[in-house]
Amino acid sequence: MILKLIIFAIIALLVYKVLGGKLPSLGGRKDGKLSDRDEKKKIEEDTLMECEECGTFVTYKESIVVKSKLYCSKECAGF
């Protein structure tokens, strides 16, 4: 009886390691949606911001920040 429990525990540990140390979630998301944290990060990166110099809209991810002001290019930032 104890031998069966030990074998079961070893098999369970191997399955756990094969899954990369992550247990499958029951009722988890299978539709490929992003988590709330990832969604917030994506929104922040994709937010359009206006250049202080020329008024062009660029994404926050692509903008250049100088002295807390956003610019669309090095030319507008004065580099």
Tell me the fold of 41-79.
Wheat Germ Agglutinin (Isolectin 2); domain 1 (3.30.60)
Chain segment 37-76, per-residue pLDDT in tens = 777 677 677 788 899 999 999 988 888 889 888 899 999 9
| Token digits of residue 63 | 């903008």
Residue 46's closest CA among 38, 67, 54? 38
Global pTM?
Answer: 0.46
Rg from Cα positions in the chain? 25
User: Would you tell me how many other CB atoms lie within 10 Å of the CB of residue 63?
Assistant: 23
**CA–CA separation, 39 and 34 (whole Å):** 6
pLDDT tens, residue by residue, 3-23? 999 999 999 888 888 877 666
